[in-house]
Amino acid sequence: LCGTFGKFAFMSGQWNKPFSTGLGGMLLVNDMKLADKVERLLEEKAVTSGSLHNLLLHCQILLFEALVSPRTAGKITTLYRFLNKVGLVIGSSSEAELLGEMPDNYLRTMAFCQARKGLRELARIEKNIEHRRKLTEFYHQRLPDVGFARLAEELVVDQPLLRYPVRVANKHEVVETASKRGFEIGTWFESPLHPGGTRLERFGYKPGMCPEAEKACREVINLPTHLKVDEKTAERTLVF
């Protein structure tokens, strides 16, 4: 896998990843000398996820699994971002992170509910991969029929894409209409430094530094391939 052959590999387990633990992620350390240092750092600095944190995350995981579907994804995402902003749920990114500041208690161990969810995800990983591979091929074959350009053949052959990217001229309108009508359309990426709302100047980025990335952010939407999407749902999404 890309990223696993260096000294470090960071793997996200955020809600919409193929392998999800709800939030957070994992660190793979391939250098044993560095692994010892990382272990000491965790022992000395990491905050242990206590009962309350575990309960909050567990509730969010249950609600996500029960409520989020292709029909509700747009509205639930908007609600989730609002609740995170007012501090009622644990979000993917804190306000401090978007400002380029180190949040309090940033280094935190995985909660028990996250580990349990991760094990469930591992148990069905092959099913997940095969499902995404089939939907990737479905989108690839159908997109020209509905008037959209598709990816180069070599990029999708036998590949289980996380999401299938498509360029459109009216991204904002497409996403807004899809949400109102109950179709799941992704917006990755909204900014050259994801997510949208990041204070770009805090990270040394100036508009125009990456014109192609900025153009992609304005034009690219993406189509879901996760297990809650079947071919019938994918077809409705393509023609809505």
Print pLDDT tens along the chain (240 aa).
566 778 888 888 888 888 889 888 888 898 888 999 999 999 999 998 889 999 999 999 999 999 999 999 888 888 888 888 888 888 887 778 877 888 888 888 999 999 999 999 999 999 999 999 999 999 999 999 999 999 999 888 899 999 999 999 999 999 999 988 999 999 988 999 888 878 898 889 999 999 999 999 999 999 999 999 999 999 999 988
Domains of the chain plus CATH, in order, are 8-122 (no CATH), 125-239 (3.90.1150.10)
Whole-number CA gyration radius for the chain = 19
Q: What are phi and psi for residue 156, nearest 5 degrees?
A: -120, -10
Q: What is the C-alpha separation between 56 and 225, in angstroms, rounded?
A: 28
Size of the chain, expressed as the number of residues it contains = 240
Q: How many CB atoms lie within 10 A of CB 46?
A: 14
Q: What is the C-alpha separation between 21 and 114, in angstroms, rounded?
A: 5
Q: What is the C-alpha separation between 229 and 162, in angstroms, rounded?
A: 12
- The three-class DSSP label of residue 197 is coil
Bridge partners (DSSP) listed for residue 14: 22
Based on the number of CB atoms within 10 Å of its own CB, is 72 exposed (0-12), middle (13-18) or buried (19 or more)?
Answer: middle
pTM of the predicted structure, to 2 decimals: 0.86
